[in-house]
A and B are shown apart, each in its own frame.
Chain A
Amino acid sequence: MNGKINLVLGAIAIAFLALAALFMSNVWGRTRPLMLIPLVDAKFIDPSPSRVSIAEFIRKGGDASDYDCDVCHEKNKPIKLKFDADDNIILPTEHTNIFLQHGSHKRNNNCYNCHDEMNLSMFQTRDGKPLKVTDPDVPRLCGSCHGPTYRDWEAGVHGRTSGFWDRQLGDYQRLGCPSCHNPHSPKFPSRAPAPGPHALHPVLHAPDKTETEGSN
């Protein structure tokens, strides 16, 4: 009887020891080191706007001599615009750095829609009030065509607002149109996305378009 008990106890002890050995050697690979996730590039957490408007450029002390139209152009002597056979505008060689695609309609790609042909350092707004090319109040010009967007922008709903939502506690900044849109080709440019979530395991169930079609 005693011998039997000793045998059972011995067996249990050996079983425990064996389990301990298995745990130690990590047969199941439970604590495998995770894939090292690199830190995200600092540009993806930078809140500065996507482009610098001329007004902002001048405010920060940039050299705006390139934007002095009167160096080459004379006042009250409008330059005639040239168009090709397809009615697309031909930019003069001095301005080939401009990529003009203000909307898809050809009629929109016309310098004098915004620039005053009689005085090129000024804009022509639809309400006829003068506006300098370097004026920070340029949304007034854009708004003379883009009414609903201008209305939203004034309400703080279109475009970027930063700072304080509680206007009693602090200031807020609302960016003007050219801080995000290039006036000559205003479509918001595409960009490389920041890295997505790092899966610890391979993605097994990527959404399958063909399969979900029937479930609607």
Chain B
Amino acid sequence: MLENQKCKPGGCGGGGNSGMNRRNFLRTSGVLATGIAALAAALSPLRELTDQGSWEQFFQKHYKELSKDDMDKVLARITREVEAQYQIRPHVKDYKPMDGVEFVYCLNLTRCIGCRKCVHACVAENNQSRDPEIQYIRVLKMPHGSFDMEKGDHNYAPESVPEKGFFYMPVQCQHCKNPPCVKVCPTKATWQEPDGITVVDYDWCIGCRYCEAACPYFARRFNWTTPKIPKERLNPNMSYLGNRPRKQGVMEKCHFCIQRTRAGKYPACLEVCPAGARKFGNILDPESEVSYILKNKRVFIQLKEEVGTSPRFFYYFDV
């Protein structure tokens, strides 16, 4: 104390504590404390980003590099996160593609009545955000005698469907053989699986939306805000690449109900279709329904055939 008082402010000469006296120390720490407080205040909005995932998720390896043990840990983390958020214990699984299976979807334009049940069954099955609304399927109302997509209307709301003079064309992810969305992804967060399903890893997606721009079918949806799903409508049967809850800032899209189809079941949109217009199956099986359709029915279109994406989604007619 006494020694310090001997020094003049700013003028203490020798030794290790040069320039440090009580006044300087208080002044510096005061400034420092103010600065840190200001920085903390400035960064405070970051604290609100609660659903941006854990460190565990941040340092997770790419899906294709995950070992079985790694995947078990990841699934346990997702189970924990979903339970914390929704108070429902989900069954999260990582369904693998089956051998000798390539999925194909066929949609009968003669039969579709445009009731939009597929849209909502899909939302219910795949845990899409209800508000704001995310829907994988868009049903286009098209005038007879034209295939001009510009004339399609997806906001139709008549008393009853079908309306005279129109046909209805549901459009969803076409699971292209040559997918432009996969080519543009800078992080390899989306890719084509051996069974033909184009999947998205929500933990690797950085939300750049290049894929959304590349898709000629408007099949991809972006989570602009935190998705809202009411607890009572949450589907607890989840898959890693499929319907586990998404977070803000990632892309999502139709994945042929991976949690159903890789377990051998039909997708939800097919199950709910009252007109039986939707057909799904394994194209490598010559006995399957889709093989019959491609062999015997008037399969007339792969949507936007001219852009060379070669969809696995076929539209066909009766008669």
A200 within 8 A of B: yes
**Residues of B in contact with A (beta carbons under 8 Å apart):** 98, 113-117, 119-121, 123-124, 130-133, 135, 138, 143, 146, 148, 150-162, 230, 233, 261, 263-266, 270-276, 279-282, 288-289, 292-293, 296-297, 318-319
Q: Is the CB–CB distance between A45 and B121 below 8 Å?
A: yes
Return the 6 tightest CB-CB contacts between A and B, nearest first. Answer: A169-B264, A166-B264, A194-B116, A160-B276, A190-B160, A37-B131
Which of A45, A49, A165: most chain B Cβ within 10 A?
Answer: A165
Cα(A196)–Cα(B116), bound, Å: 8
**Which residue on chain B has the smallest CB distance to residue A170?**
B264
**Which residue on chain A has the smallest CB distance to residue B121?**
A45
**Which residue on chain B has the smallest CB distance to residue A169?**
B264
Beyond A37-B131, A190-B161, A194-B115, list 5 extra A-B contacts (CB 8 Å): A44-B120, A155-B296, A188-B275, A193-B156, A206-B155
**Which residue on chain A has the smallest CB distance to residue B132?**
A34
Which residues of chain B are near A195, meaning CB under 8 Å? 116, 157
Q: Kindly provide the distance from the CB of B261 to the nearest chain A CB, expressed in whole angstroms.
A: 7
B-contacting 9-mer, from A7-15, A87-95, A107-115, A208-216 = A208-216
Which residues of chain A are near B276, meaning CB under 8 Å? 158-161, 175, 180
Q: Is the CB–CB distance between B157 and A207 below 8 Å?
A: no
The answer to whether residues A191 and B115 also contact, given A157-B279, A162-B271, A215-B150 and a CB cut-off of 8 A, is yes
The answer to whether residues A44 and B117 also contact, given A155-B289, A156-B289, A161-B276 and a CB cut-off of 8 A, is yes
Cα(A89)–Cα(B257), bound, Å: 49
Q: Is the CB–CB distance between B157 and A193 below 8 Å?
A: yes
Q: Is the CB–CB distance between B292 and A207 below 8 Å?
A: no
Q: Is the CB–CB distance between A212 and B148 below 8 Å?
A: yes
SS class, residues of chain B in contact with chain A: loop
Cα(A175)–Cα(B271), bound, Å: 12
Q: Is the CB–CB distance between B280 and A207 below 8 Å?
A: no
A46 within 8 A of B: yes
Q: Is the CB–CB distance between B289 and A157 below 8 Å?
A: yes
Which residues of chain B are near A44, meaning CB under 8 Å? 116-117, 120-121
Q: Is the CB–CB distance between A160 and B155 below 8 Å?
A: no
A197 within 8 A of B: yes
A26 within 8 A of B: no
Which of B152, B156, B160, B265 lies in contact with A191, CB distance below 8 A? B160
**Residues of A in contact with B (beta carbons under 8 Å apart):** 34, 36-37, 39-40, 44-47, 49-50, 148, 152, 155-166, 168-170, 175, 180, 188, 190-200, 203, 206-207, 209, 212, 215-216
- Jot down 27 A-B pairs with beta carbons below 8 A, ordered by A: A37-B133, A40-B123, A47-B271, A155-B292, A155-B296, A156-B279, A156-B289, A157-B292, A157-B293, A158-B276, A160-B273, A160-B274, A161-B276, A164-B264, A165-B289, A166-B264, A180-B274, A190-B113, A190-B162, A191-B161, A193-B116, A193-B158, A194-B119, A209-B143, A215-B150, A216-B146, A216-B148
Cα(A212)–Cα(B143), bound, Å: 12
Q: Is the CB–CB distance between B131 and A34 below 8 Å?
A: yes
Cα(A192)–Cα(B161), bound, Å: 6
Q: Is the CB–CB distance between B132 and A166 below 8 Å?
A: no
Q: Is the CB–CB distance between A165 and B113 below 8 Å?
A: no
Q: Is the CB–CB distance between A196 and B266 below 8 Å?
A: no
Cα(A190)–Cα(B161), bound, Å: 5
Which residues of chain A are near B146, meaning CB under 8 Å? 216
Which residues of chain B are near A212, meaning CB under 8 Å? 148, 150-151
The answer to whether residues A45 and B117 also contact, given A157-B297, A193-B156 and a CB cut-off of 8 A, is yes
**Which residue on chain B has the smallest CB distance to residue A190?**
B160
Q: Kindly provide the distance from the CB of B64 to the nearest chain A CB, expressed in whole angstroms.
A: 25
The answer to whether residues A180 and B275 also contact, given A196-B156, A209-B151 and a CB cut-off of 8 A, is yes
Cα(A148)–Cα(B319), bound, Å: 8
Cα(A198)–Cα(B161), bound, Å: 19
Which residues of chain B are near A166, meaning CB under 8 Å? 98, 264, 282
Cα(A192)–Cα(B162), bound, Å: 9
Cα(A44)–Cα(B118), bound, Å: 8
